[in-house]
Amino acid sequence: MAGRIRVGVLFGGASEEREISLASGLMIAENLPKDRYEVKLLDTLALMARHPCLSPQLRDKAIALQQARPLRSLPSAGELSPAMRDQVERAEALAQSATQALASQDERGIDVAFLALHGKYGEDGTIQGFLELTGTPYTGSGVLASALAMDKVMAKRVLSAEGIPVPRGVHLTGADVAHEGDAAIERAMALVPAVVKPSKQGSSVGMSLVDSPAAMAAAVRLALQHDDEALVEERIFGTEITVGVLGTPGADGLEALPVVEIVPKREFFDYKAKYDPAQCEEICPARIPDEARRQAQALAIRAHRALSCRGYSRTDMILGPNGPVVLEVNTLPGMTMNSLLPKAALAAGIPFGELLHRIVSLALEARR
Ligand SMILES: Nc1ncnc2c1ncn2[C@@H]1O[C@H](COP(=O)(O)OP(=O)(O)OP(=O)(O)O)[C@@H](O)[C@H]1O
Ligand SMILES: [Mg+2]
């Protein structure tokens, strides 16, 4: 078909959310309207073959991608349902040949990059910087907003400066713990019952709920295995909700999607609850009072604006006794058809293919 826009779906990469990204990317590629778009799947791991962070298996995989050789599947980072594992394997097989172009930095074959990456080297401003350098339009937020939102400690500073309610918290680096020892952990203990998380991660990787001060040191250690900074927050009790926002500040305005209520069947919304539909109920529109819904939607728009997000975002909150409290803003939220933002869009009358089309259009508009 002539005149179609060439979209490179960038996915995979080297973060702990690689597999989630592979599943998101495959769904995006399969659902971008075929009459408008010609789609290639590009695994950004191919750009990273020399990166010192790669495990030997990931390095082999990066080199195999560059040479368009068949890939061996790696053991899973987390527990995936059989359906998800199948998607991951299909996605990797489809990415092979087109990825060679990305590795040789010849991505001129695309008009726009659709970012289906999550976590480090994808959601954190690095790939956005690479695309800025090559002059390729891309979906979602720019370098600054991506880097800010990925860093929960920095994002909370900006959000609270804007008067957006966030949980009380302290942050600890590996160096703090090494130098201050017990004193550092004691500062964190004052927040129990607490949630301890790596500052720059997603999918609840490396997170713990801490109900007793004695469990704090181990939780901080675990978080520090996944990032150089651990964030310890007071635990907010209430109804978990999330709100998607579409649009770019200053353009045609921002639209908050219907609120989604999250009801995990586990202790909290952990990795398993996020990616196994049997482990969590997601209800849209949320069963919360109108006033709380309005507050949550207004907060999501303020958070999107405060971090200068572009195109789309999803703000996670807990509706506590004093109203919604913002946990974090995701600049590249999950984009499988069952993910939270696509579900909210559907409830607003925007089917998945149309949502993808809007996100690409916003990326191309940002360039005009
Ligand atoms: N302060 C808190 N109080 C109560 N629950 C919390 C708190 N912080 C995090 N949680 C729980 O942990 C989950 C993951 O936290 P958060 O959204 O901050 O991290 P994430 O791993 O970046 O998530 P995502 O997968 O959305 O990127 C939340 O969905 C919520 O269930
Ligand atoms: Mg979250």
Q: Which of the ligands is closest to the CA of residue 327?
A: 1
Q: Can you give the pLDDT at residue 263? A: 95
- 235, exposed or middle or buried, with CB in 10 Å at 0-12, 13-18, 19+? middle
Dist CA 296 CA 344 (whole Å): 14
Say yes or no: CB of residue 155 within 6 Å of ligand 1: no
According to DSSP, the residues that pair with 138 across neighbouring strands are 113
Q: What are phi and psi of 14, to 5 degrees?
A: -120, 15
* 3-state SS record for 32-93: CCCCCEEEEEEEHHHHHCCCCCCCHHHHHHHHHHHCCCCCCCCCCCCCCCHHHHHHHHHHHH
Q: What pLDDT, on a 0 to 100 scale, did the predictor assign at position 68?
A: 77
Whether 33 and 138 have beta carbons less than 8 Å apart is answered as no
The pLDDT, as a whole number, for residue 366 is 77
Work out the pLDDT band at 198, boundaries 50, 70, 90. very high
Residue 97: per-residue pLDDT: 59
pLDDT at 213: 95
Report the top-level CATH class of 148-165+237-366: alpha beta
Q: Percentage of residues in the chain with pLDDT exceeding 90?
A: 71
CA angle 218, 219, 223 (to 5 degrees): 115
**Mean pLDDT taken over the chain:** 91
pLDDT of residue 280: 92
Output the pLDDT for position 357: 98
Contacts 24+ apart (CB under 8 A), 92-96: 92/12, 92/22, 92/43, 94/26, 94/29, 94/41, 95/11, 95/12, 95/22, 95/25, 95/41, 95/42, 95/43, 95/65, 96/65, 96/68, 96/69, 96/70, 96/71
Q: How far, in Å, from the CA of 330 to the mean position of ligand 2?
A: 7
User: Can you give the C-alpha Rg of the chain in angstroms?
Assistant: 20
The residues spanned by each domain of the chain are 5-138, 148-165+237-366, 169-234
Report d(CA 13, CA 303) in Å as an integer.
27
* Distances from the Cα of 154 to the Cα of 144, 212, 235, 239, angstroms: 11, 27, 19, 25
CA distance 121 to 125: 7
pLDDT in tens, 232-288: 999 999 999 999 999 988 767 899 999 999 999 988 888 888 888 888 999 999 999
Q: Does the pLDDT of residue 104 top 70, yes or no?
A: no
Structure tokens at 253: 């305005």
- Return the pLDDT at 32: 97
Beta bridge partners of 263: 281
Q: Quick check: do 5-138 and 148-165+237-366 share a fold? A: no
- 169-234 CATH fold: Dna Ligase; domain 1 (3.30.1490)
Lowest mean pLDDT among 98-112, 195-209, 336-350: 98-112
Q: Who contacts 367 (Cβ-Cβ below 8 Å, separation ≥6)?
A: 137
Of the residues 200, 204, 227, which should be mutated to test ligand 1's pocket, given the most ligand atoms within 8 Å of the CB? 204
Question: In sequence order, what are the residues at sequence separation of 6 or more whose Cβ sits closer than 8 angstroms to the Cβ of residue 63?
Answer: 49, 69
Residue 107 has pLDDT above 80, yes or no: no
Greater confidence (248 vs 132) lies with: 132
Q: What does the pLDDT read at residue 76? A: 66
Ligand 1 atom 22: the closest Cα is on which residue?
Answer: 202
- Tell me: the pLDDT tens digits for 298-331? 999 999 999 999 999 999 999 999 999 999 999 9
Provide the pLDDT confidence category of residue 96 given band limits of 50, 70 and 90: low
Q: From ligand 1's centre to the CA of 269, what distance in Å?
A: 7
- Residue 203 in contact with ligand 1 by CB distance below 6 A: yes
Nearest CA to ligand 1 atom 14: 204
Q: What is the mean pLDDT of residues 156-161?
A: 98
Confidence category of residue 208, pLDDT binned at 50, 70, 90: very high
> pLDDT tens, 52-85?
999 998 999 888 888 877 776 666 666 777 888 8
Does residue 212 surpass a pLDDT of 90?
yes
Which CATH code is given to the segment(s) 5-138? Answer: 3.40.50.20
The confidence band for 51, taking pLDDT boundaries of 50, 70 and 90, is very high
